Every structure is written in C-alpha cells, then in structure tokens.
Amino acid sequence: MKPAPFAYERPTDLDQALLLLDRHGPEAKPLAGGQSLLPMLALRMVRPAVLVDLNRLEGMARLEVGDGRVVVGPLVRHQAAVESAALRQEMPALAEAAAWIGHREIRNRGTILGSLAHADPAAELPAVAVAFGAELVLAKAGSQRVVPAEEFFLGFFTTALAPGELLVSCRWPLGALGRAGTFREFSLRDGDFALAAVAAGLVVGADGAVSEVGVALAGMGTGPVRSRKAEAELIGRKPTEGTLLEFAAAVLAEAEPADDLRATADYRSRLARELIVEALTASLQRTAEGGHERA
C-alpha cells in the first residue's frame, strides 16, 4: 500500500520544528528514524496531514555520558548507543538493549527517542527508561516540561506527549545501579520483538544485602511493568536464588501478559521469571566487578 497524501516540512532548527508541530497539532507527525512511522503510513494506520522531518536539526544527535547523567538527543540512532564505549561502562543495560533492536540496518536509522515515543509494549528501551529512573524532556513552542519515565508510558502505544509536543531529550542518572545494570531478552528469531525482556540493576552493600534495585519488564503488559512494592521488599535482604525467585514472582503478580500466536501468557510469565533471575544475577556480578562492565 501507499501512504495517504501529506505535506512535508524539513525545518533546520528546533524552534522552527516546534512551531510547525504547534501550528498543525494532532494533524502533524515528527519524523526522525521512521522505522515505526513509515510502515504505519504505508498501511494507513496513521494519516497525518503534515510530516515534520527532524533530520536537518543541528545538534540533536548528541549522546552525552558524564556530569552525573546520560543525555540522549532526538537524532541519536540505536547503533550509536551500541557502539558507545562510555555508555557500555556507565549504563551497559542501555547499550545492550539497543543491540537487541531489529537488525543493523534498522539500528542505523531508528532513534532512541523515537522508540520511547512510539511506546510499543514489547520494545526494549521503555523498560530501560523505567528501570533506571529516566526523565523525559517534552517541548512545545515556548515551553518545556520534564516527565519521569514511569509517568510517561500510559498504556498500549500511548504516552504523556500532548499534541504539538516533541520528545527532545531523555536523561538517565548515573550511579552504581546503572553501572551494574543488565538487559536480557528472549525472541523467537533475531530481530523479532521480544516474547519477554528484562532491564534490571541490583546493588548490594558491604553487608551483602540489597541496597538498590530497579527492574522493568517488556512484553508483559500494555507498557513497561515495574513493581515498586516488590523492590521495596527486596531491599535489605540477601540476594539468594530463593529470594530472587520470590522477587520475580512478586513482580510478575503485577504483569498482564497476553496470549497470541507466538506464545501463551503462561509461557511468557515463566520465561520472564527466568530472565529476571538471570538479569539480577548478572547485575550482581557487575556489582562485584565495580559496578560496570569490564573490558
């Protein structure tokens, strides 16, 4: 199929792009990598009156690691995260998650913020944003606001973005949890969406008890699944295999996996349980090695 007719704008600075999005409101769609948007256009699942191409915006492809945080701009491609040595050291889960996305051709075009804004419940990066406490910066003409990742993802392909707003940055805090972070996924074929995936970080104190933990699931509900209650109950406990299995069960009690042609809900839950324990065990190893991936 072919897309429905649309107007095309290609601004060269962010202010101009925001004015265009504000002028056209819900009738406009921003285009960065287009790896999700273009198939939807071709199938006429979306019919915007205007496409606002962001690819000529200057300074929007910055991936900054330092000063206590990771900052990702709207034109940072997935492959840039995969190849960033600084990111692999300071927040390895983000680099690992990006490596699972599609194939290299897709990673060379698709953008990190585009994936977050698309909010596919099976996508990797929303889970990483939620697990490690990311903040998303949303801009519109004349204003900005900051939304925590846990408040940004509202449901199935639904986010806190309002008409005329653009996701212009995602910021992750740096620290021991991020350096110890891991990402685990299971899919039927290379490049497929996950049947289940886990972004996880776990840090223990000098007494061997859990001092920090963050876990979010992909493919197990209408958006990223995180259980603050289960995490609070794990703090202060020794991370034995039995304790981690109990924790996994508590997290999964808040998940809503679905049956589909690829797997049953029960299979997804059993798979996610194993992935949670595997990811937390790997995170423990990173904690023992100093909280980050060793060369």
Predicted local distance difference test score (pLDDT) of residue 102? 93
If 0-12 CB within 10 Å is exposed, 13-18 middle and 19+ buried, where does residue 247 land? Answer: buried
Look up tokens 């009156």; give the residue. 49
Dihedral Cα 223, 228, 234, 235, nearest 10 deg: 130
Q: How far apart are CA 240 and CA 50, in angstroms?
A: 54
Question: In this structure, what token pair is assigned to residue 4?
Answer: 């429905």
Q: Could you report the per-residue pLDDT of 46-100, keeping only the tens digit for each?
A: 999 999 999 999 999 999 999 999 999 999 999 999 999 999 999 999 999 999 9
* Domains of the chain, CATH where assigned: 7-52 (3.30.43), 63-173 (3.30.465.10), 192-288 (3.30.390.50)
Q: Provide the CA 100 distance to its chain's centre, in angstroms.
A: 12
Q: Could you report the per-residue pLDDT of 160-174, keeping only the tens digit for each?
A: 999 999 999 999 999
Give mean pLDDT, residues 16-35: 96
Question: In this structure, what token pair is assigned to residue 138?
Answer: 């949303």
Per-residue CA distances from 250 to 41, 156, 215, 234, 247 (Å): 40, 23, 12, 10, 5
Question: In this structure, what token pair is assigned to residue 147?
Answer: 């939304």
Q: Could you report the per-residue pLDDT of 179-233, keeping only the tens digit for each?
A: 999 999 999 988 888 999 999 999 999 999 999 999 999 999 999 999 999 999 9
Predicted local distance difference test score (pLDDT) of residue 290? 58
Helix (H, G, I), strand (E, B) or coil at 186: strand
CB within 8 Å of 143: residues ≥ 6 apart = none
Task: Flag whether pLDDT at 293 surpasses 80.
Answer: no
The answer to whether the CB of 107 falls within 8 A of the CB of 101 is yes
